[in-house]
Amino acid sequence: MVRLFGPLVGLFFAVALLWSFGNGAYNAVTQPSPPTAEALFHKHPKEVAFSFDGAFGTFDKAQLQRGFKVYQEVCSNCHSLKQVAFRDLTQLGYNEAEVKAIAKNWGNKAQTFDPKTGDRGDRPNLPSDHFPPVYYAGQGNPPDLSLVAKSRHGGAQYIHSLLTGYTDQVGYKNGQGQELLKMFPDAKTPDGLYFNPYFANLNLAMPQPLTSDGQVTYSDGKAATVDQMALDVSAFLTWTAEPKLDKRKQTGWPVLGFLLAATVLAYLAKRNVWADKH
Amino acid sequence: MSFPWANEYKPTNPLMQWVDDRLPLPRFVYNAVGAGYPVPRNLNYMWNFGILAGFALVLQIVTGVVLAMHYAANAGVAFDSVEHIMRDVNWGWMLRYGHANGASMFFIVVYTHIFRGFFYSSYKAPREMIWLLGVVIFLLMMATAFMGYVLPWGQMSFWGAKVITGLFSAIPLVGTPLQQWLLGGFAPDNAALNRFFSLHFLLPFVILGVIILHVWALHIPGSSNPTGVEVKQESDTVPFHPYYTAKDGFGLGIFLMVYCALVFFAPNLLGHPDNYIPANPLSTPAHIVPEWYFWPFYAILRAFTSDFLFIPAKLMGVLAMFSAILVWFFLPWLDTSPVRSGHYRPLFRKFFYLLVVDVLVLGYCGGAPAAEPYVMISQIAAMYYFLHFLVILPVVSSIETPQPLPFSITEAVLGKDEHATLAPATPAVA
């Protein structure tokens, strides 16, 4: 039975696939789908090095503090950071008093609700509070940034490229010298959106956030160029997405070392046991 | 259920004697994975993967049970509770990364185990039942892994659940009501998340039960071996302990090193970034893809792009995807060659390696966007997949001339066997 019906079932699926393949091939020849503007003009993130790259990389706390300052003064106007608590900032090297002050002076206050009176109000943030939500009245819906470094292909490199990638759409050419608006006149960025070739569909609702050198004043004397600010905030957002990165790698090496030693012993034991059987 | 020369359990410790007289559990273990189980002496490292798969299951159960203590299966808080595990639970990040990558490792070893079975025809008589139970385990694993991926309630969780349960809607007449009944709603939501969590907790223990049957069935004829020649005499076997416990210990060390390298240094390598975006029913991801271990079957599903003989393309895709696994159930009867091992089957061997490449191509296409040329490549690859199992294998079995087999395992290992011309085969005593 199996030998009778088996080949029939196999041929049934094969013929159905051949039919699909034929139709697909016919369509590909008669109605070739032209390349899209995204396919031709979307750019992959720029290669930049971060201190936390690779198996030995760790966070640079000074850079994280600078990145936090960029977030505080620029990004936090529109973007929340709800997975992170103020107390977590101690991991960036701030002491408890500093964290208390940062929480207390944070622009958005913590929401309160009195169940007895039904009154709603606010109070200064405490270190135990998570970063408060941001209510944004403008166009678009700014995403929470807690996990943005892990939820985009390219991670920190992507954030850095996006922040420094805003450019004029008029006359924009890709690596092959093709000009976007000449090839795709309809791809002109609509009003209220901004052109950025690193964004998946080339136009995003966020205006260029880092516009001029010195926009944020660094307290450690580092020159706050746009590129430096973009690098620092990308590093900071990698920390918010993966705060246990240092701990993870620190744990990994002794674990692998132990396993290597145990595996060598297991191999020697195996050779010893099998010595008379080969 | 063993060979007549198997060691007998003789406890010397009075406590073990006492236990064995009342409940022969120590004897059971001794005969199953101890010195009481004679195993062919020529097993290569491909025979490590059964134990590794069992280890991976235990790993998943242990990490999963602890994760369940901290996870909240509610659509409103599930995503945040996973982040709570990652940030605030002591060693929670290690548990979660260990569980997510443990699933990948489980599939890596199980796929290797299955393809070992293909190459050495481990499914042939008298081991058909072991094979059938193995396919059941694989199906249960796929269901468990799919539901587990829904639990973090990220974008791929939500849209994956929507696509996979949407497969049932392809069934004529009852499809859409069936899909709504499975989900407990019109789209994945709290009801779906809760039942998936419940089933994700239950199914691993069902898998454990089927594994016990799988190993039980294995102990009736005993393990197969790379020559495919059955055990004939005592010199063909060694006791499982210490020979294979030692060999499996080494294999386990390699497994753990690969696993820990993933967990500690590349924990998100095999995942999709979109699952770090909370589920949003109003925003469809550009490319919905399942986890990598489903990619070959996902490619087969998407390869059917045209209606065929009044059967809608979607239904064809669903039928083909399930058939791609169900066909494994019929392998013992499709491959009728009396020779088991691919080492002695030159023609079969060529098609086997073609199948390996074919499945890798399908996997690549399944992870790629549903666009040309990937769709056309996956159509060719899917065609070969079905022809391989259902047409090529039966034909090869009947036209192929196998190479001569060694007289015994002993001869295969030592190059000579003094019983080769004298002793009749010793039958296994069931």
Taking the domains of chain A in order of start, what are their residue ranges?
A: 59-166+208-251
Residues B369-375 have a mean pLDDT of 86
A6 closest CB neighbour out of B330, B372, B413: B330
The fold adopted by the segment(s) A59-166+208-251 is Cytochrome Bc1 Complex; Chain D, domain 2 (1.10.760)
pLDDT > 70: percent of chain B: 97
Q: How many other CB atoms are there within 10 angstroms of residue B75's CB atom?
A: 18
Would an 8 Å CB–CB cutoff place B310 in contact with chain A?
no
The alpha carbon torsion through B23, B28, B34, B38 (nearest 10 deg) reads 140
Handedness of CA B162, B168, B169, B170 (dihedral sign): positive
* Alpha helix stretches (DSSP H) within A165-244: 180-183, 226-241
Q: What's the mean pLDDT in B256-273?
A: 96
- Whole-angstrom CA distances from B161 to A1, A67, B323, B370 are 37, 37, 21, 18
The CA–CA distances, whole Å, from B396 to A10, B160, B345, B387, B401 equal: 15, 39, 9, 12, 9
The number of C-beta contacts closer than 8 angstroms across A and B is 164
List C-alpha distances in Å: A108 to A131, B21, B85. 9, 72, 26
Residue B49 has pLDDT above 80, yes or no: yes
- How far is residue B196's CA from residue A29's CA, in Å, rounded to a whole number? 44
- Residue B258, chain A, CB below 8 Å: the answer is no
Backbone φ/ψ region at A177: left (φ over 0), alpha (ψ -120 to 50), beta: left
Global pTM value: 0.94
Asked if B33 and B245 touch (Cβ cutoff 8 Å), the reply is yes
**Mean pLDDT throughout B341-366?**
96
* Cα-based torsion angle of the residue sequence A88, A89, A95, A101 in order, rounded to the nearest 10 degrees: -110
Alpha carbon separation from A60 to A158, A222, B41 (Å, rounded): 19, 14, 55
Average pLDDT rounded to a whole number, residues B189-194: 95
A24 contacts B383? CB cut-off 8 A: no
Residue A122's beta-bridge partner residues? A111
**Cβ neighbours, 10 Å, residue A211:** 10
Binned at pLDDT 50, 70 and 90, residue B45 comes out as: very high
Percent of chain B whose predicted confidence (pLDDT) is above 90? 88
- CB atoms inside a 10 Å sphere around CB B28: 14
Reported ipTM: the value is 0.93
pLDDT at B426: 57
- Which residues 352-391 of B have a C-beta within 8 angstroms of A? 372, 375-376, 379-380, 382-383, 386-387, 389-391
Q: Which residues of chain A have pLDDT under 50?
A: none
Domains of chain B (ranges; CATH) run 32-417 (1.20.810.10)
For the cut 50, the answer to whether the pLDDT of residue B424 exceeds it is: yes
Beta bridge partners of A111: A122
Would residue B184 be called left, alpha or beta, if left means φ above 0 and alpha means ψ between -120 and 50 degrees?
left
Q: Which of B245, B249, B225 minimizes the C-alpha distance to B237?
A: B225
pLDDT of residue A56: 94
